Amino acid sequence: MSVAPSPARRRWRSAARWSLVVVCVLVTTASVLVGWTARRSHPQFDGVIELPGLSGGVEVLRDEWGVPQIYADSAEDLFMAQGFVHAQDRFFEMDFRRHVTSGRLAEMFGESQVATDATIRTMGWRRVAEAEWVELDEKTRAYFTAYAEGVNAYLAGKSPDDVSLEYTLLALTGLDYEIEEWTPVDGLTWLKAMAWDLKGNYSAELDRARLAAAGFTPEQIGQLWPPYPEQEHLPIVTQGTVVDGEFTEAAPDTDDPAESWPIPRSAADALDRTLRVTETLSGVVGSDRADGIGSNSWVVSGDLTDTGMPLLANDPHLGAAMPSVWYQVGLHCRTVNQECPFTVTGFGFSGVPGIMIGHNGDIAWGFTNLGPDVTDFYVERLDGDRYLVGDEWRDMEVRDEVIEVAGGEPVTIRVRSTGHGPLMSDRDEAMAATAAGSPSASEDGEYGLALRWTALDPGNTADAIFALNRATDFEEFRAAAELFAVPAQNLVYADTEGNIGYQAPGRIPIRGAGDGTLPAPGWDPDYDWQGFIAFEELPTVYNPPEGFVVTANNAVIGEQYPHLLTKDWAYGYRSQRIRDMISGTAGPVTADDIRRMQLDSANEGAVPVLAALRELPDLPAQTRILTDWDLQQGADSAPAALYNAVWRHLLAVTFDELPEGSEPGGGERWAQVVATLLAEPGSPWWDDRATGEVEGRDEMLRIAVDAAVAELTESQGEDPAAWRWGDMHTLAVTHATLGTSGISPVEDVFNADPIPVSGGDGLVNATGWDAATGYEVDAVPSMRMIVDLSDFDASQWVNLTGNSGHAYHKNYADQLPLWQRGALLPMPWSPGSVEVTARLSLEPAD
C-alpha cells in the first residue's frame, strides 16, 4: 500500500522542481547569451570590405576549415591582408602574446602576473626587439609595417566586445580595457618567445647546478646526464668536418668510418627486434631526448620514393594550446616578380607576417630545434651594484621598470645587468640559492646568477622569414638560413629539381674556458664567449648518398666536429626509429608510408627494462600482457598502460634522493640513464631512501611492478586485458588564459574536452608526459605536414585544433578529431585545388 505525501512534502517537491526549472532556464539563457556574444565577434568571411591603405584589390578564399588563401598584386598588399586576416581570426591571441613578450600581463590579469612580467622585463625582450627593428632590411620593415596596418584596419571602430569573447568576460572581472594599435615591433617580440621555448640547455645547466649545490658528485651528475650514444643512434650529418674554415661533407670523420658510423638497424618487426636486442645486448644503452620540447622532420630523396621526387615531413612538438600555436595560410602574388616575389603556403604565427614552415613554388622546408647551447649562466661576485671582473670591480647597468597592474598599484622593479647579461637571480630565489651554492662560488660573499643568451643580442631572424619564403634553390635557402640567428633550427630542404638537403644555422657561441654544462665563474674572463661559429663552418648536407636526412633533436654531428654545439642533445631514439623505418620500407616510400611513420608509437626505450623484467621469477600474473607486446603505444594498448605505470614508479622509487625540481620526467634522457644502470644491479642508485638500505636492481623492479599493478587495478579494474593506455594518457587542450580560470562554465567554453591519445615521450608520435606529475599529455605534435615535391596539390597537413581563435566558431577545434586519429587534410596550392566555401574581397578605400 502506498502512502500519499504530506502537503508540506508536496510543496517541497514542487518548489524543488521549479527551482530546477529556473536553474535550467538560467543556465540555458546564459549559454545562449554567451554564444550570441561570442558569435558577435566572429569575422566576416564573404562579401566586400574596404581597407584604407590598399593599393589594389585583394581576394581571400577560404575552405571549410577556415584556411585563407590570399591573392594580391603587391607584396605590401599581400602582408596587409595577412595582418587583417590574422586579426579577424586570432586578435585576442595576438594581443595576449604581445603582453606576454613585453612583460605587461599584469595589465590584463592583475597582481598574479607581476612575477612573470618582472622576469621578462629583466631579460628585456621588448627592448631587444626594438633594437632589432632598426637593423632589419628595409623591405622586411615595409612588410611588418604593412602587416600592422592590416591589423589596425580590422580593429578600427571596434570595441573589445566586437573583437573577441575573451574581452567581454575579462570586463566582467572589472577590467577597463582599451585595445592599443598594433605595431610592427609587437610581432618581432613573439620571435623572442619562440626563442625562449627553444632555447637549448638552459634547464639542463640549471639542473646540473642544482644537483651540484645539493652535494651530488660530478660522477653522479654524469650518470644522470650521460653522453650522447652516437654509435647506436646516428647523428644528422654522418660524416664531414671543418677544413680550411669551411664545412666539408667529404672530409673523413675517423680512420675507420665504417666502424664509427654503423649501418642503421633494419626496420624489422618491433617485437623481433626487442627479442634480438634483449638476448644479445641486455642492459645496453637505450636513449631518449634530453628534457624539453622537440620535433621531427625528415626528407626522402626521389631515388627512394614512388613518385621519383622528394617527400618532406615535419611535426614540431610544442605545448598544447587552444587555439594551436600555428596558423595555416597561403600567400600568393598574382604575378610573381621582383616587386611581388611571394607564392608560398604553410604554417605561420598570428602576429607575424610570412610563413615559417611550408613550401613555395620551388622549394619546401621544415624545422626542428637544433638545440645548441646558446645560454650560459655566470655566477657573479657582487658588491652592491658592482660585480667583479678579474681584479676590477665594475658598475652594473641598472634601470627601473614600472609594471602596471590591473586593479592595483604599479610595481617598480630594479633590473641589474653585468657584462654577461641580466641578473636573473634578482627575480628568482632558487637561482639566488643556486648561485650561492655553485662550485664556482668558493669564497664567502654575495653572489648572483647572470644570463648570457644569444636572443638578447639584436639579430636578423625576421629577415630570414622572407628570404626563406622567396628562395628558389639550395644556395638561396642557405643564404636565408644564414640570417636565422635564434632560435637555431635544423632546416631540412627539398626542391622541385629533386634535390634534398640540410643546414644547421644559428648564432652559436665559441667559449673560452668551460663547456657550458654548469654555471661559470663570471669574474674569470677566460670563461667569456670569444665569438660565434662562422656560418660557413656549420654542418650542411646536399643530396646525401643514403637518400634521406632525418632530424629529431638528435646530435647534429659526431665527435670529429671541432666546435662545441652542445652536450645536451635528445638521445636519438626518435631519429634512429625514423631512419630504421625509412631503410626498412619494402618498396618505394610513399606519402602514406610517411604518414604512418609520423604516427609510429614504438617505445624502443622499453627494450632494456623488459629484458630485466624477463629475468625476474614470480612476477604478478598481470605482467603476462607484456610478453608479446610489439612496443606500440596505441591508446587502446593494455601492455602500454602497464609498462608506463611500471616506468613511472621505477623512476620515482629509484631516484627519490634527487632535489625538488630534478625529479625524473621520463623522457629519452631517463631511458638512457636507466638502461645504463640496469647493467649495474648493485649500483647505489637502486635503493629506496625510506628504508635506509640498498635494495638492488631486482628488488626495485619488483617494487615498481607491484605498485603499477595495484594502481591500474584500482583505476581500471582487475582484468589487465581491459587496461587502456589512453585512459591514462589524455590530452586536454587548454585556452592559454581563461582555460585555467578555475570557473568551470568559462573553462567549458574555451577548452576542448580531454581526449585519449596514443604515443608517448621519446617516441616518433611524441605525445609527451612528465612522470613526475602524471600520465597526462604536456607536449604534442602541434601540427603535421607532408609536402609532395612531385605535385604540391598532393601535399597534406593538419593543425592541432583549428585556424580560428573564436570560441563557438566552427573552425575553433574542427581539426582536433582529425589530429587525434592521425588523419591529414589536403594542403591547397593551385587556385583550382581550393574548395572554396567563402570569398572575401578587400578593396582600397576611396
pLDDT digits 0-9 by tens, 63-121: 999 999 999 999 999 999 999 999 999 999 999 999 999 999 999 999 999 999 999 99
- For residue 494, list its beta bridge partners: 364, 500
User: CA 368, CA 551: separation in Å to the nearest integer?
Assistant: 7
Task: Transcribe 564-624 into DSSP letters.
Answer: ---S----SHHHHHHHHHHHH-SSSB-HHHHHHHHT--B-GGGHHHHHHHHT-SS--GGGG
Rounded to two decimals, the pTM is 0.91
C-alpha cell read off for 108: 590584463
Residue 531 Ramachandran class (φ > 0 left, ψ -120 to 50 alpha, else beta): left
Question: 117: closest CA among 412, 379, 360, 439?
Answer: 412
Pairing between β-strand 241-243 and β-strand 386-389 as defined by DSSP bridges: unpaired
End-to-end CA distance of the chain: 85
User: CA 22, CA 29: separation in Å to the nearest integer?
Assistant: 10
Task: Transcribe 372-415 into DSSP letters.
Answer: ---EEEEEEEEETTEEEETTEEEEPEEEEEEEP-TTS--EEEEE
User: CA 323, CA 811: separation in Å to the nearest integer?
Assistant: 10
Q: Is 205 annotated as a binding residue?
A: yes
Q: Where are the beta strands (DSSP E) in 233-293?
A: 241-243, 246-248
Q: Which residue has the cell 611571394?
A: 342
Q: Is 373 annotated as a binding residue?
A: yes
Contact 569, 554 (CB under 8 A): yes
Q: Is 475 annotated as a binding residue?
A: no
List the domain boundaries for the chain.
77-199
- For residue 760, list its beta bridge partners: 766
Question: How far, in whole angstroms, is CA 745 from its chain's centroid?
Answer: 29
User: CA 687, CA 626: separation in Å to the nearest integer?
Assistant: 25
Contact 386, 215 (CB under 8 A): no
Question: 708: closest CA among 754, 633, 778, 640?
Answer: 640
User: CA 255, CA 242: separation in Å to the nearest integer?
Assistant: 16
Active site residue 295: yes
Task: Transcribe 759-806 into DSSP letters.
Answer: -BTTSSSB-EE-TTT-SSEEEEE-EEEEEETT-GGG-EEEESS-S--S
What angle in degrees, to the nearest 10, is found between the helix axes of 461-470 and 184-197?
90
The confidence score (pLDDT) of residue 298 equals 98
User: CA 11, CA 110: separation in Å to the nearest integer?
Assistant: 47
Which whole-number Å values give the CA distances from 701 to 56, 220, 506, in the listed order? 70, 21, 43
User: CA 89, CA 92: separation in Å to the nearest integer?
Assistant: 9
User: CA 634, CA 602: separation in Å to the nearest integer?
Assistant: 9
Task: Transcribe 119-152 into DSSP letters.
Answer: HHHHHTHHHHHHHHHTTS-HHHHHHHHHHHHHHH
Contact 221, 211 (CB under 8 A): yes
Considering only the top CATH level, what class is 77-199? mainly alpha
Which whole-number Å values give the CA distances from 424 to 51, 243, 398, 449, 596, in the listed order? 45, 39, 13, 6, 44
Question: How far, in whole angstroms, is CA 721 from its chain's centroid?
Answer: 34
All residue ranges of the chain with pLDDT < 50 are 1-28, 253-290
Q: Which of 102, 295, 297, 575 is catalytic?
A: 295
Please state the φ and ψ torsions of residue 254, each to the nearest 5 degrees. -145, 180
Task: Give 3-state DSSP helix, strand, coil % of the chain, rounded to 5.
Answer: 40, 20, 40
Contacts for 186 with CB less than 8 Å, ≥ 6 apart: 94, 98, 102, 148, 351
Question: To 10 degrees, the CA torsion angle through 138, 141, 145, 147?
Answer: 120
